[in-house]
């Protein structure tokens, strides 16, 4: 929680240390509470890798991650879902729901065109317009703001894993 507060994703001292993210009640045993907890766990798991270096083709924290290796690792190790290896394959994976940018929730996959190809880059939405990703050679896993012009121009779509965020939304087709 302290990391989320330091990163400006939670107001300082706004939640007890046992809560995961805004809207998550640690005593809520309902399905919605479990879904929120799963998304929170996934986001916290992803944040554990902030500072891990980028490595093309990388799949683990020891050697480094590329963008899709990072998302694949986080999803597999936090919720047991093995995503395809490449960003484009993750965007087209069966069972993932297409969602609009206005409906993003923590734990959703966000895709960008960074190599003149749709779905050439992927990250994990963490809330408040921010996402975490492994950006490029010479860099490290970090949090960025999707509202920055670079990312706005390159956003190509988002996908939701139903068991992370539930599918209680009216899911309108999205890019």
Arithmetic mean of pLDDT over the chain: 82
Please give the DSSP secondary-structure letter assigned to residue 52. Answer: P
pLDDT on residue 4: 55
pLDDT, tens digit, for every residue of 116-143? 999 999 999 999 999 999 999 999 999 9
- Taking the chain, what is the end-to-end CA distance rounded to the nearest angstrom? 33
pLDDT, tens digit, for every residue of 58-102? 999 999 999 999 999 999 999 999 999 999 999 999 999 999 999
For 2-41, b where at least 16 C-beta lie within 10 A, e where not — what string? eebeeeebbeeeebeeebbbbbbeeeeeeeeeebbbbbbb
pLDDT, tens digit, for every residue of 146-168? 999 999 999 999 999 987 765 43
What positions carry a catalytic annotation? 67, 121, 133
**Predicted confidence band at 35 (pLDDT cuts at 50, 70, 90)?**
very low
| Structural domains in the chain, sorted by start | 28-165 (3.90.1720.10)
């Amino acid at each position: 929680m302290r990391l989320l507060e330091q990163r400006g994703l939670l107001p300082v001292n706004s939640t007890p240390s046992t809560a995961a993210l805004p809207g998550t009640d640690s005593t809520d045993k309902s399905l919605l509470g479990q879904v929120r907890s799963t998304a929170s766990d996934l986001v916290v798991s992803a944040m554990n890798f902030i500072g891990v270096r980028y490595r093309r083709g990388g799949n683990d924290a020891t050697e480094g991650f590329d963008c899709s290796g990072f998302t694949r690792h986080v999803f597999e190790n936090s919720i047991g879902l093995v995503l395809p290896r490449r960003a484009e394959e993750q965007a087209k994976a069966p069972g993932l729901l297409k969602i609009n940018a206005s409906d993003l929730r923590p734990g959703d996959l966000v895709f960008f065109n960074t190599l003149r190809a749709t779905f050439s880059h992927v990250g994990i939405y963490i809330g408040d317009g921010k996402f975490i990703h492994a950006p490029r050679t010479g860099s490290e896993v970090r949090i960025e703001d999707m509202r920055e012009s670079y990312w706005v121009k390159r956003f190509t779509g988002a996908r939701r894993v139903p068991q992370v965020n539930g599918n209680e939304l009216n899911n309108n087709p999205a890019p």
